[in-house]
């Protein structure tokens, strides 16, 4: 089965450091999503792309977070500078959005568990 | 704005004790309702998509149903391996791409 791949799986770093998380979406999918999951807030949508173009990043703190898709096989989420409140599990998901038709479900990676000390 | 509320937050079952999880939603126009299962340390795993009221989907001990205001996930004769968090999400017609709005999930623990 095709899977979304995320790296690293775990990251521990000190406050103020830059953090980069990577995602390889499922081949053929045209939408990519970044989520953050915490016990308090559940799954929050941070940003998403369609055909590599950013559609909405209103869920991200713009001053420190940035999301890009340099090519169809790679999506990145960067935090600079990182803060302790950014500690969470970050998930990437990909899906196939169809114009005028039924969209296919999103498929998730296993996440990056981020701890900012 | 699309909204999803799941209940109960947590559910403890004995093996074989059937039960149902609820997902109530408000959406401008439902394009699809999705059920996911999440195990600890893993990403959500897709289970079902429901598109219109009256539709039902089944997979092993799980059955999902849909009305115009809510969806139920029925677990029949659960086993310990059914222990997980179950997430419900909706996609409205006004959502760009295939953006989903998730509920808070129901944590299910099945004891042997």
Every domain of chain B and the residues it spans:
3-111
Every domain of chain A and the residues it spans:
5-98+106-116
What are the tens digits of pLDDT across the range B16-61?
A: 999 999 999 999 889 899 999 999 999 999 999 999 999 999 999 9
With a CB-CB cutoff of 8 Å, which residues 15-74 of chain A face chain B?
A: 31, 33, 42-43, 45, 48, 50, 55-56
Q: What is the CATH number of domain A5-98+106-116?
A: 2.60.40.10
Token pair listed for B104 = 């808070």
* Chain B neighbors of A102, CB-CB under 8 A: 31-32, 49, 51
| pLDDT mean over B75-83 | 97
Class of domain B3-111: mainly beta
E strand segments, A3-106 = 5-7, 10-13, 19-24, 31-38, 42-50, 53-56, 65-71, 74-79, 88-95
Question: What's the pLDDT score for residue B96?
Answer: 65
pLDDT band at A66; cut points 50, 70, 90: very high
């Amino acid at each position: 089965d095709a899977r979304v791949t995320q790296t690293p799986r775990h990251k521990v770093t000190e406050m103020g450091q830059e953090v980069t998380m990577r995602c390889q979406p499922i081949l053929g999918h045209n939408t990519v999503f970044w989520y953050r999951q915490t016990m308090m807030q559940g799954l929050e949508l941070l940003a998403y792309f369609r055909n590599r173009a950013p559609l909405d990043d209103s869920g991200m703190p713009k001053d420190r977070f940035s999301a890009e898709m340099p090519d169809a096989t790679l999506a990145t989420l960067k935090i600079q500078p990182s803060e302790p409140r950014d500690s969470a599990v970050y998930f990437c998901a990909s899906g196939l959005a169809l114009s005028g038709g039924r969209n296919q479900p999103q498929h998730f990676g296993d996440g990056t568990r981020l701890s900012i000390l | 704005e699309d909204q999803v509320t799941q209940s109960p937050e947590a559910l403890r079952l004995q093996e074989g004790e059937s039960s149902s999880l609820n997902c109530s939603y408000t959406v401008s126009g439902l394009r699809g309702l999705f059920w996911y299962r999440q195990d600890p340390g893993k990403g959500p795993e897709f289970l079902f998509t429901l598109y219109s009221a009256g539709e039902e989907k089944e997979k092993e001990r799980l059955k999902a149903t849909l009305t115009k205001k809510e969806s139920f996930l029925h677990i029949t004769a659960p086993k310990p391996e059914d222990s997980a968090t179950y997430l419900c999400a909706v996609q409205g017609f006004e959502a760009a791409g295939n953006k989903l709005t998730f509920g808070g999930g129901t944590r299910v623990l099945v004891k042997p």
